[in-house]
Amino acid sequence: MEMRKDKTLLLLSSIGAAAFVFMNLVAYKPNRISQGIKYSSFQFFGSFGIIILILWTGLIALSFYNKKNKNMLIFIVTSFLIVAIFFLLQLRTGAYTEGESSARITLSSGFFVQIFSIYMIFSTYTQKIKNFKFIKWIGFIAIFAALSYLMITGAFDDLSIIKEYNIKKTQFIDNLRIHALLTFGSVISGAIIAIPLGFLAYSKKKLEGKIMIPLSIIETIPSLSLFGILLVPLSGLGRLPFFNALGVSGIGWAPAYVALTLYTLLPIGRNTLTGFYSVDRNIIEAAKGMGMSKSQILKKIELPLAFPVIFTGIRIAFIQTIGGAVLAGLVGGGGMGTFVFLGLGEASPDLILLGVLPIVFFTVVLDYILRAFEKTMRGVIYD
């Protein structure tokens, strides 16, 4: 009998194993500006690397395993792999930097490829163990507890990205707050504008093209060009006392906020239009037959049934805006883009990562939360 293989798991685990064997895991730098010495996973971990290799090999073997408990075993092995990589990383980092205050360990491509492969495996197969919730929560808690303990105890303090964070901690927190305010403020403002526009395009068929085409055009304008377009009107607006008191000018938070808000209009507006169109016309006709007015049909039928699709547009806008807010750093608007462009200017990969990694983390977390809320909402409305 032909053995069936899980191609997704085989591909992802093979990529992770290949990154472990063939790619550089870290670079040792005696100081911030030095090029450093690169080490593969085996060179850096030494004999402990056998543990990681066995776990990657185990995942490859599981791609040929077809029993009912396969997904649970994948979850367990992947959880051990996450903890093992980070535990061994902190263990060996201390051995390389001991007694040298300026020395640091910089993470290289081999580390990030392995983490990406682990994330893809983890996110794919965690969804398939719904019948093993107890084991799933134990795995989550164990991973969170282990990583939290290592962070709190300062086990990663010799990693270059942590050193950069400790140096710029106050600036990091301020820019993270600004990034969050720009993201949430832009999406909320965009929703306030785009949802009525989407409904207007739905209720007035003649206006659909006149509303949606301009929103589509805005989406195609490059960010830097849009900042240039906004420079003159916002500079003029900033001369007025009220707007001057708010700090509105051609540079700073104002052009970033306006540009990000404009970019949210299409996904929210388009999904609003699609949401209302998706409401079954038979339900509306039945409501009319029962004597309900247009406003009652809108409030009690159309809007509740269309809202899950509208919320999908809001979720897309959130994910899009978290990444787009990086460009606020180009016009002095703050946010995590400050570190990205500062790192590019100083040729410092660690500063770039200090700006990028929180964005990736919060994008994944926010997307998971919003998807879960969206799924719950659909269940409540349609069941």
Task: Give me the helix-helix angle, 253-277 and 208-220, nearest 10°.
Answer: 140
Q: What is the pLDDT of residues 103-160, one digit of tens each?
A: 788 888 999 999 999 999 988 888 787 776 777 788 888 888 888 888 888 878 888 8
Q: Could you tell me which residue, 297 or 173, shows the higher pLDDT?
A: 173
Over residues 180-193, the mean pLDDT reads 94
147 in Cβ contact with 86 (< 8 Å): yes
Residue 4: pLDDT band (50, 70, 90) is: low
Distance CA 281, CA 107 (A): 56
pLDDT-derived band at 3 (thresholds 50, 70, 90) equals low
In 3D space, the residue among 333, 332, 352 whose CA is nearest the CA of residue 342 turns out to be: 352
Nearest of 116, 115, 137, 141 to residue 126 by alpha carbon = 137
Instruction: Give the model's pLDDT for residue 270.
Output: 94
pLDDT band, residue 25 (cuts 50/70/90)? very high
Which of 127-131, 138-142, 180-184, 371-375 is the least confident region? 127-131
**pTM strictly above 0.85:** no
Hey, what are 203's tokens? Answer: 């209720």
d(CA 86, CA 94): 13
Query: pLDDT above 90 covers what percent of the chain?
Result: 31
pLDDT value at residue 2:
46
